[in-house]
């Protein structure tokens, strides 16, 4: 590869939850690095707007309405990926939802299921349905977006923490199972990042401004993260620069879990 050639030229990447926040930033970064992008989201117009923008700036991208909790949607998006771009090399299982700051003694089973369904079932289904396409290419890279809350707990976030902890070990199991297939599987663990998801979680608190200050103070670097800072890690794990990394947990948290 020449110095000037983008790192992901010729690669095809599918990013779930690509209409907003970390997914959007990751899609932009992967596209800037030369990958063709399949943008998945339940927010179809948001994903379509991003696809148009990437295409207008010389990238390759399509947007598909896709609910990560639905096996049929996964079958369809993988088929469309192969049909449009010839295969799949990179899967970013990013779509996720926050809990609603409900204590365990008041947490409904239905609420528990809704968080687990998107954040954990969605990642399982991504692996399950994208796996054969990655294998067909002779290998690839899967990046599962977990969280610092997949490593440490938080009161009022039991379902979210359980889902993200699940993503870590699901990733490691997949990494071991697929190492012989040259499919690398890693998880990323962002601290609190300025995105609509965090805004929504803060709005569920009585004192949103006070809670925000507490969150900032919990990050030794003295601020929340930016989506682009997580996207940089996603793009690195997607590339051959991370060729000896699989089953690892990449923490990007301004020092939150160092304490």
Ligand X SMILES: NC(=O)c1ccc[n+]([C@@H]2O[C@H](COP(=O)([O-])OP(=O)(O)OC[C@H]3O[C@@H](n4cnc5c(N)ncnc54)[C@H](O)[C@@H]3O)[C@@H](O)[C@H]2O)c1
- Residues pairing with 251 in the sheet: 189
**DSSP-derived 3-state class of residue 151:** coil
Distance CA 67, CA 17 (A): 9
Residue 17 binding ligand X, by CB under 6 A: yes
**Which residue among the candidates 129, 160, 236, 256 is catalytic per the annotation?**
160
Question: Is the CB of residue 125 less than 8 Å from the CB of residue 168?
Answer: no
Question: Distance from first CA to last CA of the chain, Å, rounded?
Answer: 41
Residue 19 binding ligand X, by CB under 6 A: yes
Residue 250 binding ligand X, by CB under 6 A: no
Residue 159 binding ligand X, by CB under 6 A: no
The mark string for 67-106 relative to ligand X (x by CB under 6 A, - otherwise) is xxx------------------------xxxx---------
Residue 23 binding ligand X, by CB under 6 A: yes
Binding segment toward ligand X, per CB under 6 A, in 2-10, 34-42, 78-86, 100-108: 34-42
Closest CA to 183 of 220, 218, 144, 131: 131
| Helix H or strand E segment including 69 | none
Question: Within a 10 A sphere around the Cβ of 57, how many other Cβ atoms?
Answer: 11
Whichever of 81 and 147 has its CB closer to ligand X, that residue is: 147
Q: Which residues are catalytic?
A: 160
User: Site residues (CB under 6 A) for ligand X?
Assistant: 16-17, 19-23, 40-43, 46, 66-69, 94-97, 118, 145, 147, 190, 192-193, 195-198
């Amino acid at each position: 590869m020449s110095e000037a050639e983008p790192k992901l030229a010729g690669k095809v990447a599918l990013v779930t939850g690509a209409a907003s926040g970390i997914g959007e930033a990751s899609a932009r970064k992967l596209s800037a690095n030369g990958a063709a992008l399949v943008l998945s989201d339940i927010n179809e117009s948001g994903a379509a707007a991003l696809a148009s923008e990437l295409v207008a700036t010389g990238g390759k991208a399509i947007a598909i309405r896709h609910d990560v909790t639905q096996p049929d949607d996964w079958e369809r998006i993988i088929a469309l990926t192969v049909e449009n771009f010839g295969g799949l090399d990179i899967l970013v299982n990013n779509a996720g939802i926050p809990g609603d700051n409900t204590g365990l003694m008041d947490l409904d089973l239905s609420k528990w299921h809704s968080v687990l369904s998107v954040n954990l079932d969605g990642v399982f289904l991504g692996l399950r349905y994208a796996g054969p396409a990655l294998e067909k290419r002779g290998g690839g890279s899967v990046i599962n977006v977990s969280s610092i809350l997949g490593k440490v707990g938080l009161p009022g976030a039991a379902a979210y923490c359980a889902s993200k902890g699940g993503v870590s070990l699901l990733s490691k199991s997949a990494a071991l199972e697929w190492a012989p297939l040259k499919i690398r599987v890693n998880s990323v663990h962002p601290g609190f990042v300025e995105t609509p998801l965090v805004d929504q979680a803060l709005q569920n608190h009585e004192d949103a401004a006070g809670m925000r200050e507490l969150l900032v103070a919990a990050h030794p670097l003295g601020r929340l993260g930016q989506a682009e800072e997580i996207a940089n890690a996603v793009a690195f794990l997607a590339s051959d620069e991370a060729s000896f990394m699989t089953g690892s947990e990449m923490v990007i948290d301004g020092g939150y879990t160092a304490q």
